[in-house]
């Protein structure tokens, strides 16, 4: 409202509101008519070629409306002359066929059908003349110029020369084959010396000039479209370049961010934080971060393996020290836990130490038993020697004495027992030596 009042400052407010109402009504009417007689806008994309087809289709829709207006204007003249109803009805029916093509988005075919509707209407108008072609009908051939000019608006430029030639041939054919009024024939004989070209020259000139003007107009439209296409292509190129630059800028920012993340992770890893990792997603350096994380994981495993190996080496050194102390000093040293599986061997060393202590004590006890058996054997040998000597002396003193016989028998029994004890002592000594050897092992 404010903008319109600015452009029309001298109009009263009431007239301005009324003009706006009429304009709004006309706009709604035209939109409704375009929806009825034309294709949907969705059938055309945003390219200049399709937008030009949409423009020609909308022009055809307006021309269909003008056909209805023209039919209404011609209708009163058809009341006294009923033969005029034939071209009027033909124009309306053929225009409906052009509307059908236009509804199907066949713009060029619709334009050809519309021009044919005009040509057929004019041809029927000329053919249905009751008395043939008169002097007053010669200007009717100039009406074919309308079809040529409309063709320059709704048809491609390359079809205009063929359209002009077609109209010239159509005019020439109608003038040649249709009957002539006697006055027209007499005029041609008198004024044109029997050469009828002079009667049609105006129509031919109009066709040529009209086709040239339509061709030039269409050429200027095509040139404007080409310039608009180049401008649009240049605009698209600028947009693509801007999008590319923005994409490059975003990519550079992502790369800088990825480099910063990887540098921080590398610095942390270099400072001893072996758990440092580079976390990146939707970044060009994601593969590099993944490789760094894989390398860090492997180095971390190697470091852990080295630490485990060092702990195991320390554990083995402690075990060797404890073993040497047990073997050479006979003492059991404590084990500092290392967190490895080698710590489980210490109870076995402790049991070995206890067994060794028991072996030492058992060896000492065996040695004492062996010495006691040796002393017992010595005494037994002395006892057996004394018994042998007593037996020999008794035999020498009195073999026939009756009281000596029982004593001899007792001495012999004592000798036998002593021999048995001696044999048992020998066996005990042998078993003691075997036990001593086993304990040493």
pLDDT digits (tens, 9 = 90+) for 32-59: 888 888 788 777 777 777 778 888 888 8
Q: Which of 212, 240, 268 is the last residue of a domain?
A: 240
Q: How far apart are CA 413 and CA 417, in angstroms?
A: 6
Instruction: Evaluate whether residue 290 is within a structural domain.
Output: no
Q: Which residue has the higher pLDDT, 323 or 248?
A: 248
Does 14 score more than 70 pLDDT?
no
Instruction: Evaluate whether residue 27 is within a structural domain.
Output: yes
Same domain, 100 and 229: yes
Cβ(34)–Cβ(61) below 8 Å: yes
Q: Which of 210, 240, 270 is the last residue of a domain?
A: 240
User: pLDDT by residue (tens digit) across 323-376?
Assistant: 777 777 667 777 777 777 777 777 777 777 777 777 767 667 667 777 777 777
**The pLDDT value given to residue 439:** 55
Does 11 score more than 60 pLDDT?
no
What mean pLDDT do residues 53-80 have?
A: 83
Instruction: Evaluate whether residue 160 is within a structural domain.
Output: yes
**The pLDDT value given to residue 3:** 40
User: Exposure of 211 by Cβ count < 10 A (0-12 exposed, 13-18 middle, 19+ buried)?
Assistant: buried
Residue 14 Cα to chain centre, angstroms: 62
Q: How confident is the model at residue 2 (pLDDT cuts 50, 70, 90)?
A: very low
Into how many domains does the chain fold?
Answer: 2
**The pLDDT value given to residue 5:** 37
Average pLDDT score over the chain: 77
Q: Which residue has the higher pLDDT, 302 or 352?
A: 302
Same domain, 153 and 9: yes
Residue 390 Cα to chain centre, angstroms: 122
Instruction: Evaluate whether residue 37 is within a structural domain.
Output: yes
Instruction: Evaluate whether residue 161 is within a structural domain.
Output: yes
Instruction: Evaluate whether residue 156 is within a structural domain.
Output: yes
Does 4 score more than 70 pLDDT?
no
From 156-170, 171-185, 308-322, 341-355, the region with the lowest mean pLDDT: 341-355
Q: Which of 222, 240, 258 is the last residue of a domain?
A: 240
Instruction: Evaluate whether residue 76 is within a structural domain.
Output: yes
**Owning domain of residue 372:** 348-440
Q: How far apart are CA 323 and CA 317, in angstroms?
A: 10
Torsion of CA 236, 238, 241, 243, to 10 degrees: -70
**The pLDDT value given to residue 1:** 37
Does 235 score more than 70 pLDDT?
yes
pTM summary value? 0.51
Cβ(292)–Cβ(282) below 8 Å: no
Tokens of 273: 């934080």
In percent, the amount of the chain with pLDDT more than 70 equals: 82
**The pLDDT value given to residue 335:** 72
Same domain, 206 and 70: yes
Instruction: Evaluate whether residue 433 is within a structural domain.
Output: yes
């Amino acid at each position: 409202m404010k903008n319109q009042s600015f452009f029309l400052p001298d109009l009263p407010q009431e007239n301005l509101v009324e003009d706006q109402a009429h304009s709004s009504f006309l706009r709604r009417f035209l939109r409704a008519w375009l929806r009825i007689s034309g294709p949907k806008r969705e059938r055309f994309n945003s390219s200049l070629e399709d937008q030009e087809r949409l423009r020609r289709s909308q022009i055809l829709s307006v021309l269909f409306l003008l056909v209805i207006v023209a039919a209404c204007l011609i209708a009163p003249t058809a009341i006294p002359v009923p033969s005029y109803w034939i071209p009027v009805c033909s124009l309306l029916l053929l225009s409906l066929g052009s509307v059908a093509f236009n509804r199907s988005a066949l713009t060029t075919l619709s334009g050809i059908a519309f021009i044919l509707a005009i040509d057929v209407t004019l041809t029927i108008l000329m053919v249905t003349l009751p008395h043939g072609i008169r002097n007053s009908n010669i200007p009717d051939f100039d009406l074919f110029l309308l079809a040529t000019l409309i063709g320059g608006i709704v048809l491609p430029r390359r079809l205009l020369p063929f359209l002009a030639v077609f109209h010239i041939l159509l005019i020439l054919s109608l003038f040649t084959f249709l009957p002539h009024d006697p006055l027209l024939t007499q005029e041609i004989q008198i004024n044109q010396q029997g050469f009828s070209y002079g009667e049609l020259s105006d129509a031919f000139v109009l066709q040529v000039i009209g086709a040239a003007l339509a061709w030039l107009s269409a050429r200027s439209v095509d040139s404007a479209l080409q310039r608009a296409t180049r401008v649009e292509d240049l605009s698209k190129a600028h947009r693509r370049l801007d999008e590319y630059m923005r994409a490059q800028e975003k990519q550079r920012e992502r790369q800088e961010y990825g480099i910063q993340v990887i540098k921080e992770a590398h610095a942390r890893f270099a400072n001893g934080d072996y758990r440092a990792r580079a976390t990146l997603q939707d970044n060009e350096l994601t593969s590099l971060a993944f490789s760094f994380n894989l390398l860090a994981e492997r180095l971390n495993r190697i470091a852990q393996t080295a630490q485990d190996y060092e702990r195991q080496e320390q554990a083995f050194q402690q075990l060797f020290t404890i073993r040497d102390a047990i073997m050479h000093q006979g003492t059991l040293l404590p084990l500092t836990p290392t967190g490895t599986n080698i710590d489980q061997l210490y109870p076995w060393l402790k049991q070995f130490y206890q067994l060794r202590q028991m072996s030492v004590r058992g060896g000492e006890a065996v040695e004492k038993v062996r010495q006691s058996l040796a002393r017992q054997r010595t005494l037994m040998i002395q006892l057996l020697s004394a018994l042998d000597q007593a037996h020999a002396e008794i035999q020498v003193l009195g073999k026939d004495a009756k009281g000596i016989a029982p004593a001899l028998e007792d001495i012999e029994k004592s000798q036998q027992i002593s021999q048995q004890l001696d044999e048992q002592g020998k066996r005990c000594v042998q078993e003691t030596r075997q036990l001593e050897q086993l304990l040493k092992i």
